[in-house]
Amino acid sequence: MSDVLFKKVDYTVNKLLEDIDIGNIGLPDIQRPFVWPRSKVRDLFDSMYRGFPIGYLLFWENGLSGGYHTIGTETKQKIPNLLIVDGQQRLTALYAVMRGKPIVDHNFNEVPIHLAFNPLEERFEVTNAAIEQNPEWLSDISALWASSTVQYNLIQQFINRLGGKRPLSEEERARIYQAITRLVDLKNYPLTSLEISSTVDEEQVSEIFVRINSQGALLKQADFILTLMSVFWEEGRKELEDFCRAARNPASDYQPSPYNPYLQPEPGQLLRTSVALGFRRTSLEYVYLLLRGKDLQTREFSEQKRDEQFDILRRAQSEVLDLTNWHDFFKVLQRAGYVHPGLITSERTVLFTYALWLIGRRDFHVNDYMLREVMAQWLFMALLTARYTASEGRLEQDLDLLRHVATPEEFLRVWKQQMEAVLTPDYWGATLPNDLVTAGARTTGQSAFYASLCILDAPVLYSKLRVRDLLNPSVHTRKAALERHHLFPRRYLQKIGIQELNTINQVANYTLVEWADNIAISDRSPEVYAPQMEQRFTPEELDRMYRMHGLPEQWYRMPYPVFLEERRKRIAAIIRRGFEHLQG
């Protein structure tokens, strides 16, 4: 028999909660976004009340000495012996309800979990306004386990309140007492944990999780590092989450904030950006081992090594979350023409470019103007070609290009050479037009086309409004600015026998028009509506508008398949022109 990687340990719920209170078990997610719906928390307590099993917990020994530790702050923090790997939502639910602690929702707001219990029906519900007014219900069961609660007094208060509304029989009074006593006794509910040895690395832990978890949810390496931050540098993880929370809504006090109309990042995304900046790596497995303080040669843990690596991460994160850096970088996004969040097909690409931009600014001291220009070109190229979408390892390859770079000029030259190697004449003439043969709702080519129209200061089709103004994310209307319009309307195409949606919804059949025009066009034939629209403009204005939108003269008289092929070539040419405009 091979060596067993875990041991089985039995707990009661109360012992688990006590170990969380004293810091022996690390439960960082009590202050992280809680993904369970309230109904699932209700069902958890109902199962326990009825004596059903609720599954086991999976812990991981951290392998480091206990005691207290400090990372980059004067705050003393006890190092947990056990880190939760599987069961954190269950444990968070139990802790939040039985300790009366608020959880953090997906918008990073602190909210309590209130569950109600009907002792006579022995039924749980999520508390609502009607239940709060109904004397048949104990509206917040958290009070049962509060240290200040005297169980007998609470039961008597409930019986007196209900008895004031209607007569209670002795049998009902006894049932109420028994049901509430049984509910309180859930603190002694038995739970089993599997505790994985500290000698097991995070890749094996992830595999163990996947093999024993019925849903097969894959643990992400970023989750391991965020857990480590909770243990060894709680302030750092809190900074990430506070930043992400503030990025979602404008500051009510008009103070500087990370809010922006383009990105609402998650902590794990910003963590990756910090790792790329601090360690010039994207392999989180490598970073995770370093942050655990593991020497990659001896395989031994070292607190000194751990502290050194956390210090690197701390300094990198400070740069990533710096508001001046953050908002300066969005000028790169705007310069690249991606002026609307709907154009961004990969947040990962944007944040990876942010890491490269920070490396250029911090480590190579590149002139801000030149850095913005080259990084705007890089972002345009990376989004257009989906450079970082398929593989995160691609960024690590790009970071390796900086290994022997020493000057600002060399830094810029590296990215220019890479762009020349990717965006070749063959790419513009053959690859990109072929890539545009797609009907996706959001494609890299279509987004790059609209970005190019912004770069080239093009007008909206059949309008004197500019595309950049139409897509201004600060303007909020009932209709989305990025709603696309069929040049050959769908129902018109279906009337003439073209039924396939993949053909109807081709990128080449879409453009941006004002909403009033979109409604006016409706399902009419382009041979009917287009000549009417043309009458608004001079021949010179119309010629420029058609050239910018990749439309041949009298495009509406072309057979639809011929139109699609011709327009794909023209769209590719406009995208190329937009990129070359970025190059100056």
Instruction: State the average pLDDT for the chain.
Output: 87
The SS3 assignment for 548 reads helix
pLDDT at position 78 over 80: no
pLDDT at 387: 94
Q: Are 375 and 361 in contact (CB under 8 A)?
A: no
Amino acid at 556: Y
Assign residue 344 a region (left: φ > 0; alpha: ψ between -120 and 50; beta: otherwise): beta
Q: Please tell me which of 2-6, 386-390, 489-493 the model is most confident about, judged by mean pLDDT.
A: 489-493
Question: What mean pLDDT comes out for the span 2-11?
Answer: 83
pLDDT per position as a tens digit, 439-461? 876 799 999 999 999 999 999 99
Nearest-angstrom CA–CA distance, 226 and 305: 18
The reported pTM is: 0.75
Pairing between strand 82-86 and 510-511? unpaired
Two tokens at 364? Answer: 């190579």
Q: How is 119-164 classified by DSSP, letter by letter?
A: TTTTEEEE--HHHHH-TTSBS-GGGGG-TT--HHHHHHHHHHHHHT
pLDDT at 4: 75
Nearest-angstrom CA–CA distance, 445 and 435: 7
Question: How many angstroms separate the Cα of 563 from the Cα of each of 434, 488, 554, 560?
Answer: 15, 10, 10, 5
Nearest-angstrom CA–CA distance, 46 and 243: 37
Among residues of the chain, what percentage have pLDDT more than 70? 86
pLDDT at position 219 over 80: no
pLDDT at position 212 over 70: no
Nearest-angstrom CA–CA distance, 308 and 291: 9
Question: How many angstroms separate the Cα of 106 from the Cα of each of 32, 109, 267, 351, 478?
Answer: 9, 7, 12, 21, 25
The residue with tokens 């490269």 is: 356
Question: What mean pLDDT comes out for the span 142-159?
Answer: 91
pLDDT per position as a tens digit, 170-198? 999 999 999 999 999 999 999 999 888 88
pLDDT at 74: 36
